[in-house]
């Protein structure tokens, strides 16, 4: 059998590291000039001015792509789409995806405001009860508690400042 370039005979080699895997595993400990030499062997132009850890990861990615092939375009697009949505971006001008919070009948929302505990009971039909009185809106309750306009869901910690 011919040697496969790793010093091991044969093709099976399950559990054995390929030469590229060995190089990638050694990258973190290599001096920068050695990493730049691998970069140049990959056919890339001069090494980019990046912090060492990032440059080493980029070199490892290029080595992997050379050995195993690039990530297919469809997967790159899907990863970009999911990443964009998860960071509050939009897809084709659409607002970010926000999952509505559904409150079950009997749920208690509790918030402390200026040393005072505010407790709201969720009633059937999407109504709320605070201090024995019915309300149709959490925002109305938040306004009465604070004296200022508030988003009710945000006041009770159900949405972030951006949402």
Is the Cβ–Cβ distance between 85 and 91 less than 8 Å? yes
Whether the predicted pLDDT of 96 surpasses 70: no
- Report pLDDT for 19: 84
CA angle 5, 10, 12 (to 5 degrees): 110
Enter the pTM of the model.
0.40
The pLDDT confidence band at residue 46, using thresholds 50, 70 and 90, is confident
Whether the predicted pLDDT of 132 surpasses 50: yes
- Report pLDDT for 133: 94
Average pLDDT of the residues in 66-94? 70
Whether the predicted pLDDT of 41 surpasses 50: yes
């Amino acid at each position: 059998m011919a040697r496969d370039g790793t010093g091991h005979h044969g093709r099976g080699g399950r559990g054995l590291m390929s030469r590229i895997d060995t190089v990638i595993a050694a990258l973190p400990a290599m001096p920068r000039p050695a990493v730049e030499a691998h970069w140049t062997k990959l056919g890339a132009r001069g090494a980019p001015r990046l912090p060492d850890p990032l440059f080493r990861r980029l070199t490892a990615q290029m080595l992997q792509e050379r050995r195993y092939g690039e990530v297919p375009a469809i997967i790159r697009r899907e990863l970009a789409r999911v990443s964009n949505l998860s960071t509050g971006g939009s897809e084709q001008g659409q607002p970010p995806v926000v999952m509505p919070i559904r409150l079950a009948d009997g749920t208690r929302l509790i918030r402390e405001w200026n040393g005072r505990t505010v407790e709201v009971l969720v009633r059937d039909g999407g109504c709320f009860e605070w201090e024995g009185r019915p309300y149709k809106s959490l925002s109305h309750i938040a306004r009465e508690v604070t004296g200022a306009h508030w988003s009710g869901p945000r006041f009770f910690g159900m949405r972030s400042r951006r949402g």
